[in-house]
Structure 1
């Protein structure tokens, strides 16, 4: 295969990363929440090819969710699932990763600013498409993409700036309250539903908006409704809407996949994927692996960053201090190949939680750069001052690609493939279970229906709300939803390892970036910042 690995330069060099991430200037950028390059007047020139612009927007959204920064950091690194400890000088980056973990971010945090800009740009671009006399289906897909991006702005920041395409740079965008944004999103999705194609399983059918994706996002919207409307109490009628939308997804043919948990994240068909983004999965692979965990055509190895916490590992069934094949672990916890099980089919790299001694594909025990055993520890003693092996690693997308042809056998096809799952039926299934619980019902049967399809996972005698949250963590880790879940369960401000309890509900929302406040006086900073 001609493609050679260049990922090491993506975000490995600590010096380059620190230089990039340390930029905290307040220069106003051309983002669509502020101005657009061609918005010199109040006149709007319709897009010449709305269909092509829609394709470009799909690609942009995929790129926005590809990075290990911005949305991924805000959704996962800020949760109890991930920690990027500073190892020597590696992953210091002026503290931006530690701020995510400890909830000490500020309004000038680069990840927060870039996420705000990216999402708001996509909202405006979707509106441009809608105002350019597109076909009926393009209208429906653009409304879905506008609702999709607006959902994340509303969820993360609590307010949404909105600019009409006819408004020039001299007009400050109006600001939708959280409830106004909620209603806007709901309307877009309901209107889109009628003209979206039917959703169906298979990788060829899940890369664009369908009725199934709209029903999924509506279910997510309704499940969090009591957070967004400020009441703090779930309404039975709205929870029933969650159930109805999930039932509609099931009626389209989606179901819990029975062919193996980690198979879902391979580039092959499954019955669970509802929406995948056109995002390279390379960051999900290499940001967690050690420098010496190499694979064919990848001389650079991993980036040795992202780790998980022992508390999160302990929420799974299996041996307490190891995760080798046969450690009595449930399927979703994955496994680490040992000297006898490492082979070309797994490259010596495991799935799920990587703890303990790591091996090459020929069964050779790997060493770190100092020549000591490459054995990942369960505990991370501190945020800084760690060695190369502190912390278990967490991986769902694997560098081995079983779909490669024989003359192009390389894991790089897998790591460069643009297929990152964001909406999945197991998530919808658990949303339905939670909605039933919030209505006073019993969701034990539904939760066990999922668990019995995950190998070596026991049946629960009963299910509480805490069990629902824990089950969502076990099923959906590092899939962008953990912060959203923790906020809904009022656990985002709780303490976890190397993070003290904040007790401040204000951190349930991120700050409005300082650049946005400077550019739009209609915006008001969120409380606490």
Structure 2
């Protein structure tokens, strides 16, 4: 207990951003402009608190497109998303002629050949360390944040520390009073886990987080613009979801199992707030009849969405689609993941999609087969070949035609014609209750108690998609069950974390991934960070 208290006190003073330098490879702004949220310094240069706590908290959510540190600005396809999803067994980025080479950053990510100079590794490091430091400034007693601001900042800081720990296995800290001449100290994985849970426990137990449940207007319409209103901030459900995720992932974060009973209790509490699987068809109070309406924020009474991100979902749609469909044609889902369904019949599982709700000729789900224009005519690629996405195992990351690969699009398109927010106002469904139920099912299979059976949770998700219920479920079944429901979404921790929990991330082999090196369970500390902080030690193998 004494050690825990000391760590908590240490956090309040020291947690933050390691000193980094801008190198030729880094495009990120390591000193982001937070406007009114910048810290107040005395004549001697010491920290005296942030000048505007409300603006500082707002920056932790949004922080503008220029620095991209805020919680709402989670990556669309690069940085953390690349580390979570492209490195794992659901998503690949194919090079097609001169398209999508990007100096090999996608190929090395998928094939586990990245090094300490990988641009997305550096940018993920910069971003999460910077954001946690800014949260620490707001949480310093001299900033005088309100109880609500404090609780939200604690959760945001916990998320960013968790991200650094998850990716890199060690966390640098710098006190808010330390100048640039002070080398940040580095804490162990176990110390970092303690700090994360201390923040989350404090925020949840404080009673100062909103209990905003489902049906809240996630983006209420506003007059005079093509954007909608303010996104809902962090509430108790978000904090409990993050705590459950951290406990579930503790096995790969620190090498010992987390508290599975806590995972189940937190998901139960989220459910008690009113969150549930959003119904489909006649059971849906909004009258929606498509499984993919979960990803359509025009439905502001969605019963499943716990948290949304501010952004333009077209970046998650058009990276999959051919230029003749308005896309840029690199990302695909692995054929092996598509085949986990064991069928291509939407009547047996709505998650497959196609046919489905179509706008501008593009369906939702696993996009395959002959592609068509909005007028219904067959499309061709740029060489006039029929544009057919085929169910064929992919064999090469570097040499592909424009048609290779099944695409996955979960966000229904809408014409930007005034019918609710148009495509430019679309936001990301990031945390949803189905994901929480899958955590609860896995925690139950890992020995936790106090919730429904794992089979009940898994079958509820399957039945909502129109899939036949399973007769039994085991822990070994869970990776495939999770892949079928969450593929491509870039959820908190991503597919990489699932594979790490089950021990088949670094040592596994899947479509177009042949490297098997155990040290790849962690990403390297970026070379730029090592060059400026002697307290950092490069992770084994790099």
For the aligned pair, the TM-score class normalised by the smaller chain equals 0.7 to 0.9
2:212 maps to 199
Of residues 299, 324, 335 in structure 1, which corresponds to 2:354?
A: 335
Pair 1:37–1:78, CA change in 2 (3 A)? farther
Which runs of 5 or more residues in structure 1 are unaligned?
A: 1-22, 294-300, 320-325
Deviations 1:152-182 (Å, cap 9, x if unpaired)?
1111111111222111101111212111111
User: Does the 8 A contact of 1:199 with 1:213 survive in 2?
Assistant: no
User: Where does residue 107 of structure 2 map in the other structure?
Assistant: 98
Q: CA–CA distance in 2 between the matches of 1:431 and 1:27?
A: 36
Report whether the alignment pairs 1:512 with 2:512.
Answer: no
Match of 1:13 in 2: none
Cα RMSD (Å)? 2.4
TM-score normalized with structure 1 length: 0.85
8 Å CA contact retained: 2:39, 2:47 = no
- Structure 2 residue 252 is matched with structure 1 residue 252: no
Structure 1's 500 and 100: CA in aligned 2 closer, same or farther, altered over 3 A? same
Q: Secondary structure at the match of 1:423?
A: strand
Shift of 1:408: 2.4
1:50 aligns with 2:57: no
Partner of 1:7: none
1:165 alignment counterpart: 176
Q: 1:30 to 1:168 in 2, by over 3 A?
A: farther
Structure 2 residue 299 is the aligned partner of structure 1 residue 288:
no
Distance 1:63 1:257, change over 3 A: closer
| Counterparts of 1:136 and 1:275, CA distance in 2 | 21
Cα distance in 2 for partners of 1:318, 1:304 equals 25
Answering whether residue 44 of structure 2 is matched by residue 31 of structure 1, we say no
> Is residue 73–residue 309 contact of structure 2 (8 Å, CA) maintained in 1?
no
Return 5+ residue gaps in structure 2 as ranges.
1-21, 33-37, 64-69, 219-230, 281-289
Q: State the distance in 1 between where 2:147 and 2:215 align.
A: 24
Partners of 1:309 and 1:391 within 8 A in 2: yes
Query: Residue in 2 aligned with 1:464?
Result: 474
2:504 aligns to what? 491
CA distance in 1, matches of 2:211, 2:120: 35
User: SS where residue 268 of structure 2 aligns?
Assistant: helix
Q: Normalization by structure 2: what TM-score?
A: 0.83
Distance 1:28 1:523 in 2: 22
Aligned counterparts of 1:41 and 1:211: Cα–Cα separation in 2: 40
1:346 maps onto 2:371 in alignment: no
SS in 2 for 1:394: strand
Cα separation, 1, equivalents of 2:240 and 2:80:
22
1:126-141 matches, within 5 Å, as: 126-131=135-140, 132-141=143-152
Tell me the matched-pair count: 474
Runs of 4+ with deviation above 4 angstroms: 26-30, 36-42, 326-329
TM-aligned CA deviation for residue 42 of structure 1: 5.3
- CA separation in 2, counterparts of 1:164 and 1:64? 25
Aligned pairs for 1:229-248 within 5 A? 229-231=254-256, 234=257, 238-248=259-269
Call closer, same or farther: CA 1:63–1:69 in 2, change over 3 Å. farther
Measure how far apart 1:66 and its partner are. Answer: 3.2
Aligned partners of 2:88 and 2:31: how far apart in 1? 29
Aligned to 1:432: 440
Superposition deviation, residue 527 in structure 1: 0.7
C-alpha deviation, 1:257, in angstroms: 1.2
* Alpha-carbon distance change, 63 to 210 in structure 1, aligned in 2, over 3 angstroms: closer
User: 1:87 Cα deviation (Å)?
Assistant: 0.4
Q: 1:147 to 1:180 in 2, by over 3 A?
A: same
